[in-house]
Structure 1
Amino acid sequence: MRSILEELKQRDLLKQFTNEEKILNAQNEGAGVYCGFDPTADSLHVGHLIQIINLKRFKDFGFAPIAILGGATGMIGDPSFKSEERSLLTLEQVGKNVDGIKRQLNFLIPDINVINNNDWLGKMSLIDFLREIGKDFNLAYLLAKENIASRIEKGLSITEFSYTMLQGYDFFRLYEDQKCWMQIGGSDQWGNITSGTDYIASRVGRENSKACGITMNLLTKKDGVKFGKTESGAIWLDKDKTSEYEFYQFFVNQDDEDCEKLFKFLTTLPVDEINLIKEEHAKEPFKRIMQKRLAQEVTTFVHGTEGLAKAEKVTEALFSGDLMQLDKSELLATINSMPKIQVKGNLEIIDLIVESKIASSKREARELLNEGAISINNNNTFEENTIVDEKLFTVDNFIFIKKGKKKYFVVEII
């Protein structure tokens, strides 16, 4: 079997690693590999996908995947390259978030070992922390770490300053209890990961330590913007926060120049197969072959084959204009993914079209109606004085209006 390092290099994922010999030994021994997730919300989002896929990737290369949920450290906040202190969450908020993320991870990687670091850190007193952990961290060593040094001038509390020590202790506990010899993370986690390998070496002896770490390149778009940031906010992995259709469309709408990197980072497809998809796409780029295949792969991973089928059904309904084939939940999911225009009810349809800014004037609205260019619920024959009431509602108090062949508007009747 190829080494995991070769796989990461081929995918342009590899940023830094501590010790190649120890990494290869961990792979050969089927050791544990872990990544941490801070429970700042009750769902992960697409920005977390790279590390979730990496845990799956490491599993395919013989490692035992472990996810640490920061039930304790999440109440503090990681200072790594953040511009300011995080708002502190309550214990109840963190507990709810941990439960939500654990369900997601167990679905995405069924045999993953999900562990809450509050199981040990929550039982530790301040004196225990100072004696057990603090004595093994030199102040000069911590201040030299880039993720801490970058915050010193702007202000860094003792609370967040302690984060890297607690994460180092997490690694030690997994090393001792779970045969976990490796930690992975984004490139911004290098300081925290090396705190763990160094702390383990101080506990078991540097010559005896099998601990190692790898960081991955951060996933950014061609313009340098961090992947997953949109004007409307995060793209969540929870279908109740971001519908399967919205999730699918997010990937369908990616730029050609970003697709190859997204394939390498967010799927386990072999690089040779990715290159073939790229070649096929180049012949007829207007068909968006790369985008559609990418959306299929990632949506299937996150939402399963049923979620993909649902996303493709909504996509086809919008393309064909036959929205009435969708059930209520699918219609509402589609509505939630689109901007909405609020208009008062019981207007004549010609006034509704103008107030919704579908047309700029009554004259234009009249022309659209006469040409049959306005369609509501598969009907495009309306008198201009037709009253818009619940008989025209598509679902609940929403009306889907199609202008021409492809342009859709969602009007919310208030």
Structure 2
Amino acid sequence: MTQIRHRAVVVGAGPAGLMAAETLANAGVPVTLYERMPRVARKLLLAGRGGLNLTHSEPVESFLARYREAAPRLAAAIAAFPPPALRAWCEGLGQETFVGTSGRVFPRSMKTSPLLRAWLRRLAEQGVEIALSHRWTGWDEAGRLLFETPEGTKAVDAGCTVLALGGASWPRLGSDASWVAPVTAAGISVAPLQPTNCGVRIAWSELMRARFAGSPLKRIGLTLGTESVRGEAIIAAEGLEGGAVYALSAPIRDAIHAHGKATLSLDLRPDETQEELAKRLARPRGKQSLATWLRKALSLDPAAIGLLQETAHAAGTPLGTLPPDALARLVKAVPLVVMGMAGIERAISTAGGIAFDEVDDTFMLKARPGTFVAGEMLDWEAPTGGYLLQACFATGRAAAEGALAHLAHQESRDG
């Protein structure tokens, strides 16, 4: 077994790990970054495929509320590295940013690759060493980090360690949650990893699935209980996908756990009242087909009309027989019964992870002094819109700051 000694080690080369490595190196600490994949930041590259949404421009109070129960535990890290600081950091790498119409923040190029290339150049200039194809498997009896590598097992003794191994979504890109076993074996509590920011499963009829899978639903509203969102969705063969669905992932998942299902209310015309719709539907239909009439009267597309027909058929009442008030009510509140979440392997992110009670205010594991945790390994979740990456960057930086303080304390004690 090869044995190595480092002053500082970061495990995981996603956004949290890369930010931790940069923060340590900025302070003059030699850093070695270990990554299980043959390339760094695989999932970050995937995230930027449709435009890299770095953060969001909304006020900090609203921003923090997106993290739900975890907001108080993330507040200090995000306050120390807020969205404006993240934008300034990007621009320091030569990547200008802009705010989109939705308030989301993107690099001007919209791509991950230019940002990542500039970042890796900076890390190389800072002397950060990156060891690829190193899978962390836990600690040995002496507390050393163990890695499986193409050359065999390595035992690494580190003055401080930042673990940033991600959650469990898109495991083929590196976040396979293999860290859960050694962490729990060390007596550290880990909340089960679950899919979030993912599609939901709905039992469509064969006709609905065959005709409308892949069809978009634009400018809709979705409600579950007291939570409502506006946005878009896509009818999938197994259910519903898209931003509006992802934004309700947490309450949907909670409802399924509690009741075995969740019933979403879909508003096909969120900008109009039920009374306005009923008034238009009360006009004579004439010889028009039902689909043509609904398309002209309410500007509904075929997929939306298909949903109405599917729902009416399930209730045993043909859509064309509904009076104007009842039809308007259905347009404003199509019930969608969700029986499950899409698989974790295709989720954008995961909920669950190391409980915050297991770390102190510097993100150091109480059970393992000198070991810090960042990013999706921690038990938090957030919707898409820049909140995920912001928290990964911020906790990566905060964990590294904690590691620096730990090293300084060690040196003063030993000095």
Q: Which structure's relative contact order is higher, taking Cα pairs within 8 Å and 6+ residues apart?
A: 2
Structure having the higher Rg: 1
User: Whose helix fraction is larger, Structure 1's or Structure 2's?
Assistant: 1
TM-score range, shorter chain: under 0.3
